Amino acid sequence: MNAKGHRFVSLRITTAASIVIFLLPQLSISFFQRRFEDWSSESSFSTEQQNSTDNRYNGKKFRPSVSAVLDTIRRRIDSGSEKIKSFRKSSTVHPVNDGSPKELAPKSKILDPQGPLLQKWNKIFVITCVIAVAVDPLFFYIPVIDDSRTCLKLDGNLQIIASVLRTFFDLFYILRIIFQFRTGFIAPSSRVFGRGELVNDRWEIMKRYIYSYFIIDILSILPLPQVVVLAIIPSLKHKVPFVAKDLLTYMVIGQYVPRLLRIYPLFKEVTRTSGILTETAWAGAAYNLFLYMLASHAVGAFWYLLSVESELRCWRKALKNATMDHESYMSCDTDNFYQTAVSLLNSSCTIIDSDGNTNSTFNYGIFAPALESDVVKSTTDFLQKFFFCFWWGLRNLSSLGQNLATSTYVLEIIFAIFIAIFGLVLFSLLIGNMQKYLQSTTVRVEEMRVKRRDAEQWMSHRMLPENLRERIRRYEHYKWQENRGVEEETLIRNLPKDLRRDIKRHLCLALLKKVPMFDIMDEQLLDAMCDRLKPILYTEKSYVVREGDPVDEMVFIMRGNLATMTTNGGRTGFFNSSVLKAGDFCGEELLTWALDPNSSTNLPISTRTVETISEVEAFALMADDLKFVASQFYSLQWKTWGACFIQAAWRRHIRKKTERSLREAEGRLQDALENENGSSSTPSLGATIYASRFAANALRNLRQNASERNSRRLLPLMPQKPAEPDFTSQNH
């Protein structure tokens, strides 16, 4: 870059610095509110002072543009101060009775820390923070050694790539800061009343965040390496590689600490709100392995930088012994190039072999592999350089630095000690986390193995026959195949009541409506029955119920086939059988027993034997549960009896009305006949009409009597009136 280009870059840096200086009051405007009350006078004074300062600049070409920019900034700061004042006024608490309008717009934009949107973005922020930490060590690979001239220079392409990647991931840091200013928090003073109250006051949120992690976040996103690469390096004229190397080392290491510190609180927040970072155990194991590889990458990059520094130490020592100015020969940005110096450095800074037969007096220690493989040379491809250093870091972290042969250089020994301790800690964490995540995938299998072992020990202790043992093993195996060790009933029981009801309705309602009596019942009673159903499993050749045994459950078949057989009480020569399939049921003897309030406590006796033909998955409604539902919904019996009672009363009313109309018609007919007897011997037209009407009513009366006789026959089939509830008993 020529001198004109350097001056142009310097003016751009000056302009950017002026803009930053004028933007700083806007960032700290919430802390210095008193200054905003007379901001107009101060801003006008600062503008005049800045204009007088701009007149002293030599670059007259840039004066109008800078003034326009500063005027725009001043106007934006004035508008920002007015917004802050209005915001502070709106954030004050108004009494309930004052009719002032509520400022609900700012509160509607506050994010819930446990909301799904923020939980998803927090996971994204954790991943991007980890990747951003992996980008920073790329700046350590920028210094390279020119093999042809034996001097230090910088990799220009890597400078641009590392700066662009870091800037891209810093945008997520900035977005995280914006989210922090809009994320509410639970007030500690309100947690005694339960879950806690979400604070929506922006001023309180801002103050809490500034006093906690704001400084760390600002230090994390400061573009110091980008400024060094894109601004400082082009403006330097002498010793550019050395200054750039030192600045990048100090700034990257200095910012590496706050960038690492920010990951742990964010990770804790994600695990606290959502419980997990990854949905599957394999993803969690891969995440921990990636963190270990990230540490290996950082250690390898720093080892590369120290390897370059060890080469420079050898050069300084050789040139100092030859009474030559080392700063003039070690940098590639100077024109001082002497073959004598190159020959001196090549002969003095050779690598000591393992047998020690060379004449070099400089020991590179643990940095010798980097120099032997020429990874520090500018001619080496970056991918080769990167993977070689990554492998060195991974190998020594895994081996805890046991193979490191150091020299007597103090910083080298400290670096080796750090590798040993850091590798021990990381390797322990990796093994522990990997074991935890991988065991979570096999914990059900291990529980099943322990249950089988306990069952085998118990069967051996009780000396059960082999056929019973085989049936127990087959049942446990079938149960594992169906639910993979998950206790379905326990899982459903722990859910909320409405969700549990909807699940049971989805699974069992269609099965219940297969029963004709259940199909006409109301939804409330069906929901209560669905809630009482329990999943059961039967293996092949298992008896659900035997003929003559008490029926203690109704079974609703979901999958499988069963055979039902009966001998009609053991009668000789009588046998009847059928097959039950999915959607059928058995144990319907419990219906009349449970719905009858006067039934005895003895369970009904089964009239048939039910045996499974294949593996069966079903739901069971126990006798006690059915009796409980019938007693709780006792009004169903009253509804049935009431409907029948109203129907009988209506029929009596119709019968009495018909009898009354017949008597009236008979009376009118008698009157008509008496009036016509004296006049003529032939019946008149009126007498004929009355006679026909009377005959029709008589026929209808005969039909009504026939229906009444039929109703008397059906009367014993009508439900009896339920027993009146006793409110004086102790149960009530």
The model's pTM is 0.56
Distance CA 404, CA 726 (A): 91
- In tens, the pLDDT along 428-458 reads 888 887 777 777 667 777 777 888 888 888 8
Distance CA 637, CA 598 (A): 12
Distance CA 548, CA 569 (A): 8
Stretch 548-576: mean pLDDT, rounded? 78
In this prediction, residue 471 carries a pLDDT of: 84
Distance CA 363, CA 357 (A): 13
* 485 dihedral zone (left: phi>0; alpha: psi -120 to 50; beta): left
**Helix boundaries (H) for 463-565:** 466-483, 488-493, 497-512, 516-519, 523-532
Distance CA 596, CA 478 (A): 38
Q: What is the dihedral of CA 634, 638, 640, 646, to 10 degrees?
A: -170
From residue 427, give the alpha-carbon distance in Å to each of 296, 400, 713.
11, 9, 89
Stretch 405-410: mean pLDDT, rounded? 83
Question: pLDDT category, 567, cuts 50, 70, 90?
Answer: confident
User: Residue 698: is its pLDDT beyond 70?
Assistant: no
What does the block give as tokens for 692? 């026909």
User: Residue 260: is its pLDDT beyond 50?
Assistant: yes
Contacts of 22 (CB under 8 A, 6+ apart): 70, 73, 74, 77
User: Residue 331: is its pLDDT beyond 50?
Assistant: yes
In this prediction, residue 588 carries a pLDDT of: 81
Dump the DSSP string for 90-138.
HTSPPPSSS-PPP--HHHHTPBPTTSHHHHHHHHHHHHHHHHHHHHGGG
Contact 644, 718 (CB under 8 A): yes
User: Residue 495: is its pLDDT beyond 50?
Assistant: yes
Distance CA 200, CA 119 (A): 18
Q: Which residue has the higher pLDDT, 250 or 568?
A: 250
Nearest Cα neighbor of 605 from 545, 564, 562 is 545
**Over the chain, what is the mean pLDDT?**
70
Compute how many other C-beta atoms are within 10 angstroms of the C-beta atom of residue 101: 7
Tokens 């403006």, located at residue: 235
In this prediction, residue 376 carries a pLDDT of: 82
Nearest Cα neighbor of 100 from 88, 108, 92 is 92
- In tens, the pLDDT along 613-642 reads 888 888 888 888 888 777 766 555 556 666
Compute how many other C-beta atoms are within 10 angstroms of the C-beta atom of residue 245: 21
In this prediction, residue 258 carries a pLDDT of: 83
Distance CA 388, CA 375 (A): 8
Stretch 229-244: mean pLDDT, rounded? 77
Q: Which residue has the higher pLDDT, 471 or 188?
A: 471
Distance CA 305, CA 376 (A): 9
Provide the residue type at 124 as one letter.
I
Distance CA 626, CA 624 (A): 5
Question: Which of 58-67, 531-540, 596-605 shows the lowest per-residue confidence on average (mean pLDDT)?
Answer: 58-67
- In tens, the pLDDT along 3-25 reads 444 434 343 443 444 443 334 33
In this prediction, residue 106 carries a pLDDT of: 44
Contact 227, 320 (CB under 8 A): no
Q: Which residue has the higher pLDDT, 188 or 263?
A: 263
The backbone torsions φ and ψ at residue 551, rounded to the nearest 5 degrees and listed phi first, read -90, 115
Provide the residue type at 369 as one letter.
P
- Partners of 617 in beta bridges: 537, 559
DSSP annotation of 35 = G
User: Residue 660: is its pLDDT beyond 70?
Assistant: yes
In this prediction, residue 604 carries a pLDDT of: 84
Provide the residue type at 70 as one letter.
L
What does the block give as tokens for 147? 């093999």
- In tens, the pLDDT along 386-397 reads 899 999 999 888
Question: pLDDT category, 195, cuts 50, 70, 90?
Answer: low
Contacts of 177 (CB under 8 A, 6+ apart): 214, 217, 221
- Judged by DSSP in three states, 611 sits in strand
Q: Which residue has the higher pLDDT, 221 or 267?
A: 221
